[in-house]
Amino acid sequence: MGTNTPKKKIVLTGGGTAGHVSPNIALLPYLQEAGYEITYMGSKNGIEKNLIADYGLPYVGISTGKLRRYFDVKNFTDPFRVINGFREARKFLKKYRPDVVFSKGGFVSVPVVRAAGSLHIPCVIHESDMTPGLANKLCFHAARKICCNFPETLEMVPAGKAVLTGTPIRGELFTGDRAKGLEICGFTADKPVLMVMGGSQGAVSVNKAVRANLPALLETFQVVHLCGKGHFDESLKDTAGYRQFEYVKEDLKHIFAAADLLVSRAGANAICEILALGKPSLLIPLPTKGSRGDQILNANSFAQQGFSEVLEDEKASDLLVEKTLALYENRAKYCEAIAASHQTDAIPIIMGLIEEVQR
């Protein structure tokens, strides 16, 4: 690239939850290496604004509202916020003229992608769950390419646009050190490590199942338990072979490296990280009473592809030990299926699509 050649410009968007931001963050070093000037568009005061602040990117806040399929008094005001967001996004994009927009979804992305489409700016969007959410469905028409995590999703999006990519994973997760992870947990190297992640939602029933079965689990495993904020059990803090954390950030990569298998909820980003790290997993999806059922579909897809086993939330306490032992005994089979997957190297595929849509 010549010194006088202007940088290509990309606008990233997505927000509402960390899951709609972290894949964008994972792409940042690769976009920077490719010479892109990067701007982030999100809501004026959403979680994405705080998460992106650490990376020193220009941030453009727009009005946003949620489009609901159920009755809520905000249904009368939020459409006007979305219309305002479209106007704000279009005004910025028309002036900035990015070469491409990449969207990770969430309702803040709808006005951005639709505005980009109206200006003929190419867009790539990413759908995490097996069944597309409403926000991304509203963006299908404006998208040139739609990245998917699950083979089943390819049949649910417009023909010719869908690409099986997997989710961009933060590079730092691959730099963990097993010995350091064992040291952090106070574990030995001669006994397998079971890592439990309850997730930010619905950790209570997973925590309950693990702790109810802890003596039996500790016969075979050392257990590191990410139990969630406010769920630390003081009565178990001195239990040999069991280490609990409410939250882990910097040391997460080392704990992942120390783990031989995982028990986890089935949020799309979490299970894609587990897949990319090559770890067999027992997935306990959120039941339909706590979600729209996307975790159940995610988990079943991973089970059908041979990456994971699934345990229903209602049966977790009764079958946790049996299922975990079976997973560990057959771990080679799961690792073989994971190694053959096409969903573990998302970033090069997505970077290729970002370039392709500009041609």
225-253: pLDDT as tens digits: 999 888 999 999 999 999 999 988 889 99
- Answer whether 161's CB lies under 8 Å from 141's CB: no
Q: In what order do the strands lie in the sheet with 193-197?
A: 242-245, 222-226, 193-197, 261-264, 281-283, 308-310
Backbone angles phi, psi at 62, to 5 degrees: -130, 165
Give per-residue pLDDT as tens, 123-175. Answer: 999 998 889 988 899 999 999 999 999 999 999 999 899 999 999 998 899 99
Angle between helices 294-304 and 268-276 (to 10 degrees): 20
Residue 65 has pLDDT above 80, yes or no: no
Q: Cα 9–15–20 angle (5° rounding)?
A: 90
Catalogue all structural domains in the chain, each as residue range(s) with its CATH number: 8-167+344-356 (3.40.50.2000), 172-339 (3.40.50.2000)
Per-residue CA distances from 6 to 9, 49, 162, 323 (Å): 9, 27, 31, 56
pLDDT in tens, 6-15: 789 999 999 8
Burial of 230 (0-12, 13-18, 19+ CB in 10 A): exposed
- CA torsion sign for 248, 249, 254, 258 is positive
> Given this model, what pLDDT does residue 40 score?
97
Q: How much of the chain exceeds pLDDT 70, in percent?
A: 92
Q: What is the pTM of this model?
A: 0.83
pLDDT in tens, 72-84: 545 445 555 678 9
Beta strand spans in 50-161 (E)? 59-62, 100-103, 123-127, 145-148
